[in-house]
């Protein structure tokens, strides 16, 4: 199974080298990297071009935001399955894509666990995202997988379509909801930590962004699941994060 990994970047010279090292260090041979650059003015493209060119697609042009760039990646990938790796994140270990391929051998969607780290040099874990087992209707109750761990077969993308650009910070949430709640695709956990995510990314930094994400996610549930002005997930989702934060305090 050929797995495509899409990395969206813009002026990411400080971090993208480690991200690409973690991709090229994967022991899964059948893989493709799609880099979608928004027209960086720093050394991002030079760093990208310093890695092997075989199996790499590079798109560099202005975009209309991160989800527009991610849609370009969906239009360009050639693999049997696809997922996203942020330009300041990295795979947890060299076996991540092999584990994804093994899970997708019998499923349409794979997802896993994620660690938020303060910085990649020390790999100090700030929070641990552990995803519970999937059940239909889970998004109504605050369930969601970490998007950097979400991989799906091409048939899923063909059925669900692109990211909805009406959402600024929660189009990934909306995309996963549509894939898992509106269709009968088989979904299963990979079973271990897949990604180390740098704390403070586009959808994780600041209270204002957090509130904006929750409101956009609520709008998505209203559209697709018939949620009301408020719903259970609006309160359950923050509560699900408490064990993650408490584990960090006890560490």
What's the pLDDT at 121?
A: 84
pLDDT tens for each residue of 143-165 = 999 999 999 999 999 999 999 99
132 in Cβ contact with 143 (< 8 Å) = yes
Give the domain extent around 66: 3-250
What's the pLDDT at 234?
A: 65
What's the pLDDT at 203?
A: 45
Residue 129 half-sphere exposure toward CB, CA atoms < 13 A: 23
**Mean pLDDT of successive 10-residue segments in the chain (251 residues)?**
99 98 98 99 98 97 98 99 98 98 99 94 91 94 96 99 98 99 98 91 63 92 83 59 52 53
Cβ-in-10-Å burial (0-12, 13-18, 19+) of 249 comes to exposed
Q: pTM (2 decimals)?
A: 0.90
Q: How many domains does the chain have?
A: 1
What's the pLDDT at 79?
A: 99
What's the pLDDT at 209?
A: 78
Q: What span, in angstroms and rounded, lies between the C-alpha atoms of 93 and 27?
A: 9
**CATH number, domain with residue 111:** 3.90.550.10
């Amino acid at each position: 199974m050929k797995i495509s990994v899409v990395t969206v970047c813009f002026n990411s010279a400080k971090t993208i080298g480690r991200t690409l090292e973690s991709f090229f260090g994967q022991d899964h041979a059948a893989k493709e990297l799609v880099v979608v650059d928004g027209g960086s003015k720093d050394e991002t493209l030079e760093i990208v071009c310093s890695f092997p060119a075989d199996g790499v697609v590079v798109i560099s042009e202005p975009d209309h935001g991160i989800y527009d760039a991610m849609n370009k990646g969906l239009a360009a990938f050639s693999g049997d399955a696809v997922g996203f790796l942020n330009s300041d994140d990295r795979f947890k270990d060299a076996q991540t894509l092999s584990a994804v391929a093994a899970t997708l051998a019998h499923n349409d969607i794979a997802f896993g666990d994620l660690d938020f780290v303060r910085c990649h040099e020390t790999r100090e874990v700030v929070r641990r995202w552990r995803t519970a087992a999937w059940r239909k209707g889970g998004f109504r109750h605050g369930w969601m997988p970490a998007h950097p761990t979400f991989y799906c077969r091409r048939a899923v993308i063909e059925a669900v379509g692109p990211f909805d650009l009406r959402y600024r910070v929660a189009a990934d949430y909306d995309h996963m909801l549509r894939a898992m709640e509106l269709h009968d695709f088989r979904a299963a956990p990979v079973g271990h930590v897949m990604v180390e995510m740098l704390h403070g990314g586009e959808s994780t930094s600041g209270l204002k962004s957090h509130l904006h994400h929750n409101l956009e996610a609520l709008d998505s549930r209203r559209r697709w699941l018939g949620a009301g002005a408020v719903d259970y997930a609006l309160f359950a989702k923050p509560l699900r994060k408490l064990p993650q934060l408490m584990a960090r305090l006890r560490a």
